[in-house]
Amino acid sequence: MSRFIILAILYLVLAVYGFQAFRTLFKSPLMHWAYIVLFLGALIFLTIKVMTYDEGDGFKGTAAIAGTIFAAFFLLALVLGFFLLLEDIVRLLGFGYNKIVGVSNPDAGYFPSRRKFISGIALGLAALPFGALLYGMYRGKYNYQVLKYELEFDDLPDAFHNYQITQISDVHSGSFDDYQKVEYGVNLVNEQKSDVIFFTGDIVNLKSDELEPWKEIFSRLDAKDGVYSILGNHDYGDYAVWDTEEDKEENLEYLKTMQKDMGFDLLLNSNRFLEKNGDKIALVGVENWGRGGFKKAGDLQKAKEGVSPEDFKILLSHDPSHWEDVVIHDDYHFHLTLSGHTHGMQFGVEIPGWVKWSPVKWRYKYWAGIYKELGQFINVNRGFGFIGYPGRFGIWPEISVITLKKKGLA
């Protein structure tokens, strides 16, 4: 609570300071009061949610909305404050100069007035992150994108040439708030008519019962060779509050049961073989393994038991740090790994062929899209859902469609 009080004080200081630019541009008292009411309203809304927050519920629903609105106004005031501070430094230097050498027009005073031009630039730039956060919350979070890739391999079995995979990841069903939009996303997955569908973890936020309202929708996922899944770090219940360890274990077992009922073949440090016209490829799935404090239940050695080094292998592993730290250095060659986890931070800028940026790149080297190291590929899916920030901007929810190609075959 003390940290929230400090944050609230800083917010108010920035809001008051930023008001100077607003007052310079707009002379109407009505506009001034609108500024005050909106900034105070955002703080009051968040305060109410902080006072009534239950850690066991997770950061979702109106709590997440209140946090996002507050963050948008905080960024607005922060950017305004930055530009006003630069201007005030210049004004202070001008004041010092005028004080020393005098001014040609004494009626103008020693201290230069604030310039509308600077205030206008400040407000315009401040509006960019402000508008982006709000747009992402109301429109971006269900702006599903189908991203298609073709990957070529020398040793892909002939029968799997042009074999199509659809991958989704990071559903985070506890955050959903629009049944029709989620239904549209699932239908979009099925419309790809892929041979197989892979889900690479984090189907809930905190507890398994979050999936119950969405279970029927996701049970509609359909592909000729099946739907396969793995667990992500959120699926184990590690971020929820439990009365007993038995309750936590029951929660995980319930999640496994629901996935089975939905028609998902859940791989828990295990493997399957996909067969076609006498050829086969190995599908290997590990439990979550993440760098740092993330759960390390993944056991690659156990998961590949029964798979030979010569088999063509697809690995499902939720966290791309597992690929970087373990998989690409393993004595087995994993041709393609499918991961998620990063969400692309749900915020960034992507212009294909020009720029791909998100703050999450400072945490994860491999954070979105296709990468290749030591002759092995990984696709890091940007995620189907959202968590924390109840929106997306620039890094849209993703449905990955990957077509496998055999080099030399037309």
- What's the CA gap between 204 and 143, in Å, rounded? 20
Alpha carbons within 13 A on the beta-carbon side of 273: 14
- Whether 201 and 340 have beta carbons less than 8 Å apart is answered as yes
Alpha carbons within 13 A on the beta-carbon side of 168: 30
- What's the CA gap between 303 and 285, in Å, rounded? 6
Tell me: the pLDDT tens digits for 238-249? 999 999 999 999
Give residue 97's pLDDT band: very low, low, confident or very high (50, 70, 90). low
In the structure encoding, which two tokens stand for residue 359, read together? 């703050």
Give residue 1's pLDDT band: very low, low, confident or very high (50, 70, 90). confident
- What's the CA gap between 251 and 240, in Å, rounded? 10
Q: Tell me the average pLDDT of the chain.
A: 91
- Whether 341 and 290 have beta carbons less than 8 Å apart is answered as yes
Higher confidence at residue 48 or residue 195? 195
pLDDT reported for residue 95 = 63
What letters, b where the CB count within 10 A reaches 16 and e where it falls short, cover 133-152?
bbebbeebbbebeebeeebe
Query: 3-class DSSP state for residue 309?
Result: coil
Does 256 have pLDDT greater than 80? yes
Does 166 have pLDDT greater than 70? yes
Among the listed ranges 77-86, 107-116, 384-393, which one has the minimum average pLDDT value?
107-116
Does 108 have pLDDT greater than 60? no
- What's the CA gap between 234 and 207, in Å, rounded? 8
Instruction: Collect all residues with Cβ–Cβ distance below 8 Å to 233 and sequence separation of at least 6.
Output: 201, 202, 288, 290, 294, 295, 318, 319, 341
φ, ψ of residue 362 to 5 degrees: the values are: -80, -10
Does 123 have pLDDT greater than 50? yes
CA 139: distance to chain centroid? Answer: 15
* % residues pLDDT > 90 (the chain): 70
Give residue 126's pLDDT band: very low, low, confident or very high (50, 70, 90). confident
Average pLDDT over residues 268-288: 97
- What's the CA gap between 187 and 144, in Å, rounded? 11
H-only helix segments in 262-375: 300-303, 320-325
Tell me: the pLDDT tens digits for 312-348? 999 999 999 999 999 999 999 999 999 999 999 999 9
Beta-bridge mates of residue 338: 316, 379
Does 24 have pLDDT greater than 60? yes
Average pLDDT over residues 143-171: 97
Average pLDDT over residues 166-181: 96
pLDDT reported for residue 18 = 84
Higher confidence at residue 173 or residue 115? 173
- What's the CA gap between 318 and 321, in Å, rounded? 9
- Whether 309 and 250 have beta carbons less than 8 Å apart is answered as no
In the structure encoding, which two tokens stand for residue 327, read together? 């998989």
Average pLDDT over residues 116-145: 88
- Whether 273 and 218 have beta carbons less than 8 Å apart is answered as no
Does 31 have pLDDT greater than 50? yes
Is the backbone of residue 142 left (phi > 0), alpha (psi -120 to 50) or beta?
alpha
- Helices first, then strands: H and E counts in the chain: 9, 14
Using the Cα atoms of residue 407, residue 320, residue 197 and residue 384 in order, give the sign of their dihedral. Answer: negative
Write the single-letter amino acid at 18: G
- Whether 172 and 250 have beta carbons less than 8 Å apart is answered as no
Q: In the chain, what's the furthest Cα-to-Cα distance?
A: 94
Among candidates 276, 380, 368, 248, which has minimal Cα distance to 327?
Answer: 380
pLDDT reported for residue 111 = 52
Q: What share of the chain is helix, strand, coil (3-state, %, to 5)?
A: 45, 20, 35
pLDDT reported for residue 107 = 47
Give residue 148's pLDDT band: very low, low, confident or very high (50, 70, 90). very high
State the DSSP H helix or E strand holding residue 255, giving kind and residue range, or none if neither. helix 245-261
Among the listed ranges 21-35, 140-154, 180-194, which one has the minimum average pLDDT value?
21-35
Q: Which stretches does DSSP call E strand in 76-156?
A: 145-153
